Amino acid sequence: MKRYYDHTKTLSSYHHNPDIVDRLEDVIISHGNFPLTSMELSLLFKYYNPTALASGNLKGQTSKNVTPDDRERWFKNTPMDIIQSDKDDAAISRLYDVNMYENIEITSVLSKQFQPVIDYLELTDYDIRLQIQMPGQMLSYHHDLKVGPGKVNTKYLMALTDWEPGQVFILGNYYWKWKSGDIIRIKTLGIPHGTANFSYTPRYLCAITDKNSYQDNG
C-alpha cells in the first residue's frame, strides 16, 4: 500500500534530497521573539502540567490525546504510514492540542502577552491553540499540503519554553532549536516536518492560525 506521505510528496516542490543540507532560511520564516514572563509561565504550568495532562482533567479543557475518532481520521492519512511501519497505538499519541482561550484565567493573563504578538503579525481573525508534546510522544514526518479543493490558513508557531536536548523539530532536514518566545512560520506547506520528544520535560508550543490568509501550497 502506498503511504499517504508518498502521495503528498508528489505534490510538494521540496527537494526531498538527504544530501542537500537545508539552512534555517530555506525552511523557516522568522517573526520575532516575544518571551513569556515567569508569572505567565507559572500560570501555564499550573493548568498544563504532566499530572493534569495525564489525568485528562484540564480545567475548562478536554485533552486531545488519541481517541477513537482521532484514530479513524488519522488512519485514513499519515498514521497509516505508521501502521505499515509496525508501530503500535502508543506511537500515534502525538501531542495534546488544547484551546487555551477556553480557560478564563489563562485568557485574562496571557491575552496581555499575546496582544503584542497579534499586533505584530497584524492579525484580526485568529485562533490560538496550545500544543504540548510529552516525553515519549511524536508527530510523524509529514507535509501540511492541502489535498483536494480548498486552502490552508497561515499558521505561526510560537515557542513557550526554551529548547532542551531530546526535543526534536525537523523541517526538511533542518533541526530547529528555539528560544522561548521565538515565532516562526514554515516557508511553504510542501516542506516536510515532524517532531518528537525524548527529553525529560514537556515541550510547549503555541499555534496561531490567521483565518484571513493562506500559505503557499508548494
Among the listed ranges 102-106, 150-154, 206-210, which one has the minimum average pLDDT value?
102-106
Q: Which of 23-32, 58-67, 125-134, 174-183 has the lowest mean pLDDT?
A: 58-67
Q: Is the pLDDT of residue 57 over 80?
A: no
**pLDDT above 70 (res 61):** no
CA atoms within 13 A on the CB side of 70: 13
Q: What domains does the chain contain, in order, with CATH numbers?
A: 25-214 (2.60.120.10)
**Residues whose CB falls within 8 Å of the CB of residue 140, separated by 6 or more in sequence, listed in order:** 5, 78, 79, 81, 82, 94, 194
Those residues whose C-beta lies under 8 Å from the C-beta of residue 113, and which sit 6 or more positions away, are 34, 36, 37, 40
Question: Worst-scoring range by mean pLDDT, 7-11, 18-22, 41-45, 117-121?
Answer: 41-45
- Residue 91 phi/psi, 5-degree rounding, is -70, -20
What is the sign, positive or negative, of the torsion defined by CA atoms of 59, 182, 65, 165?
A: negative
- What are 134-174's pLDDT values in tens digits? 888 888 888 888 766 678 889 999 999 999 999 999 999 99
Contact 166, 198 (CB under 8 A): yes
SS3 138: strand
* DSSP symbol at 36: P
Q: Hey, what's the cell of 185? A: 512560520
User: Residue 6's pLDDT band (boundaries 50, 70, 90)?
Assistant: confident
pLDDT value at 59 more than 60: no
Query: What's the pTM?
Result: 0.79
